Amino acid sequence: MAATGTIPQPGLTAVRPTASRGARLPHAWPIYALFLGFPVWWILGLGSFIWPIMAVPMGFSLLARERIRLPRGFGLYLLFVLWMLASALQINGPDRMIGFAFRALLYTSAGITCLYVYNAPKRLLPTHTLVRVMAIFWVIVVAGGLLGIMAPTLEFATVMERLIPRRLLANDFVATLVHPTTAQIQTFLGYEVPRPRAPFVYTNDWGGNYALLVPFLVAAWSQIRSLARRNLVRLLAVVSLLPVVFSLNRMLWLCLVVTAIYASLRFAMRGRKGGVQGVLAFAAVFIMVLSFGPTRQLIDDRIATPHSNQGRSILYKEAADSVQKSPLLGYGGPRPSQSNPNLPSVGTQGQFWLVLFSHGIPGALLFVSFFAYACFRTRKVKSPMALWCHVVVVLALVQMPFYGLLPSQLNIIMIAIAIASREELDPEPEVTFVERATPRRDDVVVAAAPVTNGRARPLNPSNGTGSSHDDGSHGSPV
């Protein structure tokens, strides 16, 4: 009897898959571990370190392939990483070297994540699976934001905090990474406001992640056919706006406006009502929540209180002036402000300024050029999910001058680039999550195939995805 349970017929040969010698983890397991398991890593004090840790198995998986393919333009990012490493020559002191090594690992691991997703066969790592994981991560971010509002003073010692050497823990940067807190309580409005940051290190990290994940949420919502599930997502979207307001992050608010306007225009130009309706529904709820009650008062007070504008201007100017003295390699990492010691370190108020100050003008050009080219290259993708990923890259460029992108934001952006890049060449048919919930037969067993000249010939050259590029064979081989 054939492996499919059917009786072989004349002229047909049943082809069995090679027997596995042991249970294998799903191809998506590193992505599951990173994003779905993130609350566990945060509680253990590993939230900032899990990205390079999980890049190790992804890197070995890539090395096991016969060839690794790069998305177009990825060479710019590789050159940036090399230039960044060269700027280590500018580091003075062991404490600054700790920060440099940490950022170097984050940049490298984000690139590995991008290549892992880009090279993954679609039948093993489908686009809808990645989008769903990102949408669930958005739920985790929202839960952390609500926790920050309800328990703003919560903090606790972690396993990582107890394990690392005291010499390292004495470094303020390291201590901040391994000691979780749920909110930053600030009083610049004249009263205390708990600005949520769980499960991240800073409030701006929370806002940056939320904004970058919204396109994934809308993409996932547009694929749901169950009315109950759609209503659940709507309810979560409404509830999520509470920590959005309490974050007092003007850049987060701007990103939501950009998402609503840009995505609506792009989908409207393509005649896709579903995408437009999803964005407009989210925008309508957002505007309604911001227009009434205490949330409206918070918004008005925040707009009337610039707070960080002057400090940011000073740091931006100091970064630009300092780079003129070291234009090629920069300074290797942020340094205390010479203008005002009470301000944060120079190079910490935005990813662009971090790269410019730390790695010089060539490093900044390479870094920004990679994301700008990725944005330009993916602008014409046909798949709705890929277009939402393009929106994520647009938001990355919007955030870059004002928000840092390390560590989690950069990985989210890299996954969006990988999805859009492979969808650019090989669009995936639109199906719902419910329709794809049951494993396809050809994911487990190769069906009976006609015999031609004594050899089995597959009935369909594609792998059930409607494409012959399911082996991840896109881009430039290495």
Q: Distance between CA atoms of 422 and 71, rounded to whole angstroms?
A: 8
pLDDT of residue 273: 60
Bigger pLDDT: 449 vs 323: 323
pLDDT of residue 253: 87
Q: Which residue has the tokens 């090989």?
A: 426
pLDDT of residue 311: 76
Contact 454, 461 (CB under 8 A): no
Provide, rounded to the nearest whole percent, the portion of the chain with pLDDT above 90.
51
* Mean pLDDT within 216-235: 88
pLDDT of residue 458: 43
Beta-carbon neighbour count of residue 16 at 10 Å? 10
Q: Distance between CA atoms of 234 and 402, rounded to whole angstroms?
A: 29
pLDDT of residue 295: 57
Cα 74 → chain centroid? 17
Contact 394, 214 (CB under 8 A): no
Provide, rounded to the nearest whole percent, the portion of the chain with pLDDT above 70.
75
Q: What are the sequence ranges of the domains in the chain?
A: 27-337+344-437+458-477
How buried is residue 273: exposed, middle or buried, by Cβ count under 10 Å (0-12/13-18/19+)?
exposed
pLDDT of residue 25: 82
308 CB-near residues (< 8 Å, 6+ apart): none
Contact 225, 289 (CB under 8 A): no
Whether 12 has a pLDDT exceeding 80, the answer reads: no
Whether 453 has a pLDDT exceeding 60, the answer reads: no
DSSP 341: T
Beta-carbon neighbour count of residue 215 at 10 Å? 29
Contact 254, 398 (CB under 8 A): yes
pLDDT of residue 470: 42
pLDDT digits (tens, 9 = 90+) for 36-68: 999 999 999 999 999 999 999 999 999 999 899
pLDDT digits (tens, 9 = 90+) for 110-146: 999 999 999 998 889 999 999 999 999 999 999 999 9
pLDDT of residue 442: 39
418 CB-near residues (< 8 Å, 6+ apart): 71, 113, 114, 115, 116, 117, 118
Q: Distance between CA atoms of 47 and 106, rounded to whole angstroms?
A: 12
184: part of which helix (H) or strand (E)? strand 183-186
Whether 170 has a pLDDT exceeding 70, the answer reads: yes
* Mean pLDDT within 380-389: 90
